[in-house]
Structure 1
Amino acid sequence: MYRFHLKDAVLEDVVPFQKANGVHLFQFMHRNHINFQQFWAPIFTHTSIVMKKILEIYDGFQNRKTIVDVGGSSGLGIGMIKSKYPLIKAINFDLPQETQIAHPIPAIPDDGMVVVLEMLLPTSPEADASNKEVRNMDIVMNMFFGGAERTEKEFEALGMAAGFARMRLVCSACKFWLMEFYKN
């Protein structure tokens, strides 16, 4: 991969991995017989660590009837929530073609909320280890998927644009922050 095509991501709005290889990362893995289980193993391990800590410090799922994990992949995270709160109806949702036509806000009851668990991109210029790790993840997400980490203000603006009235930063674990978005 020619220097990862990072400048092209900025100048041409392309996904660097895709430009270098001609296909998306997952197509590349399939074409080259790369073991998906080996690829996902460290991600599952990390998810287990983060979710275990979140479930120790966050009780916001306690009185919920239904939760939907959007982009839930294998269902590991929602499965961990379900095992702690067995009466919750848990839905794992990870179908891009469905999310393009979904209407998420009307489906949420007035007393409902959206919980987001993501890294927050630091706004301070300090180069401590924590900030570096999140900034590195921002670069990785851009290189392989065309994605990006967001700041707290960007998440808040995204929530407001989606019709939510307020956002609350609740707790963090392993550099991931739990945010609650409320309709009222």
Structure 2
Amino acid sequence: MGSIEEVDEEGLLLRGQAQVWQLMFGFANSMALKAAVELRLADIIHSYGGPVTLSQIASGIDSSSPEIPSLARLMRMLVRKGIFTIHRPSDGGETQYGSTHVSKWLLRDSDLTLAPLILQKNDPYQLAPWQHLSHCIKEGGIPFKRAYGCEMWEFTSQNPDFNKLFHDAMACTNKIVMTAFASQYKDGFDKIRSLVDVGGGTGRAIAELVKLYPHIMGVNFDLPHVVATAPVYDGVSHVGGNMFEAIPNSDAVFMKVRKHIIILQFILKNCRKAIPEKTGKVIIVDIVLQEDGNNRFGDMDLVFDILMFVHATGGKERTELEWKNILKEGGFPRYNIINIPALPSIIEAYPL
């Protein structure tokens, strides 16, 4: 019989082996999740208003002859992962499947959903650059550009199907983040009478804020050709321009996710010129990377950091210390971080 040390070492090695297996086949979870969204399984179950049988789920799939045995195997996997519930009647009736708090985020037609993001992040176009991760660490470069020979924004503009996937994914995540932001930052809007959304696209985000806080005069600021297509919103004016040249004057500036450090610092300096020195502030919604891993979203901050490396030139997530240094360099020596029920946090930055 081996020593206690030998037994402990064997146990640790076995645990390590099990962890490697889990990590190695992590893609299977992603693909099962994608299949669930593509088949609209959550929507089908939700439409019945309660637990349903496998045959009922199959009847809701857009197919004349769905493979029910294969569907059963997928459902078994999704149940094991806590995405759906399972109930086996004691009287020998058909097994039934139900919704969970997880499956609600897979609903394609829900106001708050992650379904478009699941489809986009697991699209073959998005997955191919990950094959170049180690090469770019050895030799430099960006995996996405190595895979396709161009930046992601350029690739998106040249591929309509991927462009739609990308913008649908961004729209769903923006909706989730903005809902959490607007509900948690109520007091932060009290003294703001004018607010500029820098890089606001067609103005949906600033329009939602103005609707909730009608005392605010909203300005949607983006490139001229972008705001030219923006719809009319009550309380919002669309202004075309270049954020690298100047930003419209206002009480506060709002920005969502600026990943490139040089771009962010440049924009911050222009923000500094656009707001009152004593009462102005910049409101940034972005991820604050937790070095200790103490995060309700687990390792997603680190996952997004690697994702930024794979897909975006100069993109990265930042720790609080890194944010502090960037803000100071941009003319904002004082800051405050507010956690919200979403992956990003609110970062308030003040010139004084």
| TM value normalised by structure 1 | 0.85
Closer, same or farther: CA 75–15 of 1 in aligned 2, 3 Å: farther
Q: Contact between 1:120 and 1:152, CA under 8 Å: does it hold in 2?
A: yes
Aligned residue for 1:109? Answer: 276
Whether the 8 Å CA contact 1:70–1:92 is kept in 2: the answer is: yes
Distance in 1 between the 2:164 and 2:129 partners? 27
1:56 equivalent in alignment to 2:224: no
Larger relative CO (CA 8 A, sep 6+): 1 or 2? 1
Identity of aligned residues (%): 28
Q: Unaligned regions of 5+ residues in structure 2, if any?
A: 1-127, 224-240, 247-269
Go from structure 1 to structure 2 and tell me whether the alpha carbon gap of 1:129 and 1:89 turns closer, same or farther (over 3 Å shift).
Answer: closer
Given the alignment, which residue of 9, 16, 22 partners 2:149? 22
- Structure 1 stretches lacking a partner, 5+ long: none
Structure 2 Cα separation of the partners of residues 12 and 99 of structure 1: 33
Letter in 1 for 2:158: R
Aligned length: 182
Question: What is the aligned-residue RMSD (CA, Å)?
Answer: 2.4
- In structure 2, distance between residues paired with 1:6 and 1:91: 40
Residue 156 of structure 1 deviates from its aligned partner by: 1.2
Deviation, 1:93, is 2.9
Deviations 1:4-23 (A, max 9, x none): 32245445553221121011
The alpha-carbon deviation at position 40 of structure 1 amounts to: 1.5
Amino acid of the structure 1 residue aligned with 2:133: L
TM-score, normalised to structure 2, is 0.47
Matched-pair contact (CA < 8 Å) for 1:58–1:171:
no
Q: Counterpart of 1:34 in 2: which secondary structure? A: helix
CA distance in 2 between partners of 1:5 and 1:101 (Å) = 36
1:174 CA displacement = 1.1
1:67 is paired with a residue whose SS is strand
Q: Counterpart amino acid of 1:131? A: G
Report what 1:144 is aligned to: 311
2:218 pairs with one of 86, 90, 96? 90
Paired amino acid for 1:67 = L
Moved more, 154-163 or 31-40: 31-40
Structure 1 residues 1-184: aligned runs within 5 Å: 1=128, 3-10=130-137, 13-34=140-161, 36-59=163-186, 60-95=188-223, 98-102=242-246, 103-110=270-277, 111-124=279-292, 130-146=297-313, 147-184=315-352
Q: 1:159 to 1:9 in 2, by over 3 A?
A: farther
What SS is found at the alignment partner of 1:77? helix
Go from structure 1 to structure 2 and tell me whether the alpha carbon gap of 1:16 and 1:67 turns closer, same or farther (over 3 Å shift): same
